Amino acid sequence: MHDASPAFLPPPPEPVADKISLFLDFDGTLVEIAERHDAVVVDNRLRELIRMLALRLDGRLAVVSGRTADEIVAYLHAADSQPPFAIAGSHGLELRWTDGRGEAPARPDSLDVVLDAAHALAEQHPGIVVEEKPFGVALHYRRAPNAGPACDALAEQLAETHGLHLQRGKMVAELRLPGADKGDAVRRFIADPKMAGTTPIFLGDDVTDEAGFAAAAELGGWGVLVGDTPVTAAHYRLEDVTAVHDWLGRIAGVSA
């Protein structure tokens, strides 16, 4: 596995659009991270960029996010994109192909217990934001950084008790069903005839994206880290969301 310090990673080359498939994280990659998960701002320029990317790549585009698939559809107006693009929500647990196929697991009742415990902790620590997802529960502590250890401790306990996967990210501890990650989403999508034989490129900013970087490399492609993490499996790096838009815009043949 390729592991490197972001300080030594070069910017990504501009690939030949006809030979690639793009896999894009959402928060911190396509949009700036907001103080609250529900306060993210998506403007029409980004929606147009995604639409033009889907057109330039003939649909060989996927947004792979920890958010729900429905949220991605709503934020990016995905239903209006022609050709459509694929979506993986909930860290790869929800898959939606461009031909209308969809796949998602059943929601276990144990998540209700986890949700109650998360709300109880939030009442003790003002600033914690509890996010209920179809297949998980997230504790966001960006507005209460001192509560991070309490969030982590509760999440570890609940993960062990209920057989859930603990996914840590930037100022968040998320409990979700096991069985998939962003790398699995890349593998499933790249097997589709539309993407098969192309070079997968994954863009992401967080530890949750490392599985996507690894899968892209395993399949003959590469990852692009946005910002910094201590060690990464990505081969290239872009400074921030603005740099991502500029790079994607050049691939799409438009000004981002």
Give me 195's structure tokens: 């993407």
Strand arrangement of the beta sheet that strand 61-64 belongs to: 102-103, 94-96, 86-89, 61-64, 20-24, 199-204, 222-226, 236-238
Instruction: Work out whether the CA dihedral 14, 20, 21, 23 comes out positive or negative.
Output: negative
Tell me whether residue 150 is exposed, middle or buried, using C-beta atoms within 10 angstroms of its C-beta: 0 to 12, 13 to 18, 19 or more: middle
- How many other CB atoms are there within 10 angstroms of residue 164's CB atom? 22
Contact 251, 15 (CB under 8 A): yes
Closest to 46 measured CA to CA, from 22, 26, 18: 26
Contact 30, 241 (CB under 8 A): yes
Give the pairing of strands 236-238 and 222-226.
parallel
Annotated catalytic residues are: 25
Q: How far apart are CA 116 and CA 132, in angstroms?
A: 10
Cα separations in angstroms, 127 against 154, 210, 249: 16, 28, 37
